[in-house]
């Protein structure tokens, strides 16, 4: 292992210390706060260039934590850029004055990746204009700080829609392209980043560069799923499609293994347009499939429905009732499932979002439900990403960890199409060994109405992540507080290679220093 000596007062070249977990295997690796040297000179330079830096504490405190709510940090100042040029000025000055710059979109990270532990926070949501909708080529050019929901609002006026985005209205385009993004149509369309055709990127040294698969493709591939290490995405051109209502179907299982096997069958054979698994613990497992057209649904019924082992809701409800009648000591769990069902199901069938049995604006329906039923002041969502062969074991082991730590939790599983062997997938959520498809599972305890210590929650996350190390998997979220896992999961050779690229691109190592490197 190579150690580079770090001059006191400088930003270390590698925050992914090879021994970061040594001796403290169950403790989070919180970054230390930047000391603030050089800040005043940095601010003065930006002011002289017309960039407004907001330094009032109350403005900075808006960004004190992220959706995870477990890490906390205050930037020294906040800039709300209005153009790529603003971002460029910030990064050029940051290289000179050695000031860390943290980019933030929707702030929906759960491991502190979007938190500034000192330095400057770039609130990218100020760059949220849709620049051009090209109906002929079915593309949209947008500023990258836009919320996916805002983009949908604009596209819908033209009867259009984006291809794929996480089921959360308040994540931003730039943030999602930087980490991948998973939707229930990822089995067909890949991760959300795969819909990007071209980007405008401000490099860590302040160059404004247009890149795509054919132009500056190295940068393009590094920035997509690059966790903000190689540049700030300020504009994106993405594929779009005609808007459709979707028809949802639900199948219910009592066995995780059976449900996952059926999910994999659906994904492998392209049996539906959307698919995923959502559970109430491992007791009520819901495999959802959905269709953009009646034709696809009919094909599903004719070719695949009989091969799937899931039950309808009534049939499953009877089975569940029988089970709990024979296991009366688990009555609280039964009541929880019933209560969850009674509250959640109406939310998915609100009449104002239903048209002839189909959901209009599924992202709104799902996202509202996500915040209402899974959101909260703290969100702990460790995950595992595996090849098809290893996925069932990974989920079963993760489920056992959930059972050990929490009475109530949810698992969310989805398949992800791997487009080709693109460089962007290296050191990303795409696990080694995945060929055509990868699979991801999020393990989310229900934290509402109960307080847990941070150590308890962290220990839970570590146990899930340890499964990833043990089985040779990957994660959706491996930055921020979890970066101590990066070398363990990706290995020294890959990490050192990326670190070398990072050093070249970002000599002062100032861009998003607490995320990966």
Binding site for other proteins (CB under 8 A): 54, 56-65, 67, 69, 80, 106-107, 123, 125-126, 128, 147, 149-150, 152-154, 156-158, 169-170, 351-353, 361, 364, 367-368, 371-372, 375-377
Least Å from the CB of residue 88 to other proteins: 19
Residue-level length of the chain? 517
Q: Are 42 and 94 in contact (CB under 8 A)?
A: yes
Helix axes 148-156, 362-369, angle to 10 degrees: 150
Angle, vertex CA 503, rays to CA 498 and CA 506, nearest 5:
115
**Residue 37 DSSP symbol:** T
289, burial (CB in 10 Å: exposed 0-12, middle 13-18, buried 19+): buried
Give helix then strand counts, H and E, for the chain. 16, 17
Adjacent-strand bridge partners of 130: 142
Least Å from the CB of residue 476 to other proteins: 19
Least Å from the CB of residue 364 to other proteins: 5
User: How many Cβ atoms are within 10 Å of 256's Cβ, its own excluded?
Assistant: 22
Task: Indicate the residue among 27 and 52 with the shorter CB distance to other proteins.
Answer: 52
> What tokens does 364 get?
């709104």
User: How many Cβ atoms are within 10 Å of 328's Cβ, its own excluded?
Assistant: 8
Adjacent-strand bridge partners of 249: 289
Task: Indicate the residue among 155 and 271 with the shorter CB distance to other proteins.
Answer: 155
Task: Indicate the residue among 347 and 426 with the shorter CB distance to other proteins.
Answer: 347
Least Å from the CB of residue 58 to other proteins: 3
Measured CA to CA, the distance from residue 97 to residue 191 in angstroms comes to: 36
Least Å from the CB of residue 136 to other proteins: 17
Task: Indicate the residue among 332 and 372 with the shorter CB distance to other proteins.
Answer: 372
Least Å from the CB of residue 104 to other proteins: 10
Least Å from the CB of residue 377 to other proteins: 5
CA-nearest of 158, 111, 233, 244 to 516 is: 111
Task: Indicate the residue among 11 and 169 with the shorter CB distance to other proteins.
Answer: 169
Task: Indicate the residue among 2 and 57 with the shorter CB distance to other proteins.
Answer: 57
Task: Indicate the residue among 54 and 305 with the shorter CB distance to other proteins.
Answer: 54
CA-nearest of 434, 433, 400, 404 to 416 is: 434
């Amino acid at each position: 292992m190579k150690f580079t000596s770090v001059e006191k007062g400088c930003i270390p070249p590698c925050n992914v210390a090879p021994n970061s977990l040594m001796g403290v295997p169950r403790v989070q690796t919180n970054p230390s706060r930047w000391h603030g040297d050089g800040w005043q000179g940095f601010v003065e330079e930006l002011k002289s260039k017309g960039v407004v830096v907001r330094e009032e504490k109350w403005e900075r405190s808006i960004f004190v934590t992220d959706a995870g709510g477990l890490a906390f940090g205050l930037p020294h100042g906040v800039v709300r850029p209005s153009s790529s040029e603003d971002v460029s000025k910030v990064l050029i000055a940051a290289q000179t004055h050695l000031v860390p710059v943290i980019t933030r979109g929707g702030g929906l990270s759960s491991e502190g990746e979007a938190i500034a532990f000192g330095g400057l926070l770039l609130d990218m949501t100020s760059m949220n204009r849709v620049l051009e909708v090209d109906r002929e080529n079915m593309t949209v050019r947008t500023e990258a700080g836009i919320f996916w929901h805002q983009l949908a609002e604009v596209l819908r006026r033209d009867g259009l829609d984006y291809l794929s985005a996480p089921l959360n209205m308040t994540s931003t385009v730039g943030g999602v392209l930087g980490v991948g993004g998973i939707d229930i149509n990822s089995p067909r369309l890949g991760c959300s980043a795969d819909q990007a055709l071209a980007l405008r990127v401000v490099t860590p040294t302040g160059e404004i560069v247009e890149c795509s698969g054919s132009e500056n493709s190295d940068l393009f591939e590094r920035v997509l799923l690059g966790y903000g290490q190689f540049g700030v995405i300020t504009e994106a051109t993405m594929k779009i499609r005609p808007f459709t209502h979707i028809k949802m179907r639900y199948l219910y299982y009592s066995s995780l293994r059976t449900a996952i096997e059926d999910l994999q069958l659906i994904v492998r054979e392209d049996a539906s347009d959307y698919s995923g698994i959502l559970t109430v613990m491992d007791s009520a497992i819901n495999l959802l499939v959905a269709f953009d057209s009646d034709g696809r649904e009919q094909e599903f019924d004719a070719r695949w429905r009989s091969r799937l082992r899931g039950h309808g809701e009534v049939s499953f409800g009877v089975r569940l009732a029988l089970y709990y009648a024979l296991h009366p000591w688990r009555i609280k769990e039964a009541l929880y499932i019933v209560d969850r069902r009674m509250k959640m199901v109406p939310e998915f069938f609100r009449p104002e979002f239903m048209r002839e049995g189909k959901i209009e604006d599924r992202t709104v329906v799902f996202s509202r439900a996500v915040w209402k039923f899974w959101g909260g002041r703290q969100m702990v969502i460790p995950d595992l990403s595996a090849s098809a062969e290893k996925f069932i074991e990974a989920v079963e082991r993760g489920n056992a960890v959930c059972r050990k730590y929490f009475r109530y939790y949810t698992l969310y599983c989805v398949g992800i199409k791997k487009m080709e062997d693109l460089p962007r997938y290296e050191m990303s959520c795409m696990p080694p060994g995945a060929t055509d498809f990868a699979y991801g599972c999020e393990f989310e305890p229900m934290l509402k109405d109960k307080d847990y210590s941070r150590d308890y929650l962290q220990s839970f996350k570590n146990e899930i992540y340890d499964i990833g190390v043990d089985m040779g998997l990957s994660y959706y979220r491996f930055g921020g507080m979890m970066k101590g896992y990066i070398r363990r999961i990706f290995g020294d050779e890959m990490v050192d290679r990326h670190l070398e690229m990072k050093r070249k691109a970002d000599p002062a190592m100032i861009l998003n220093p607490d995320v990966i490197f």
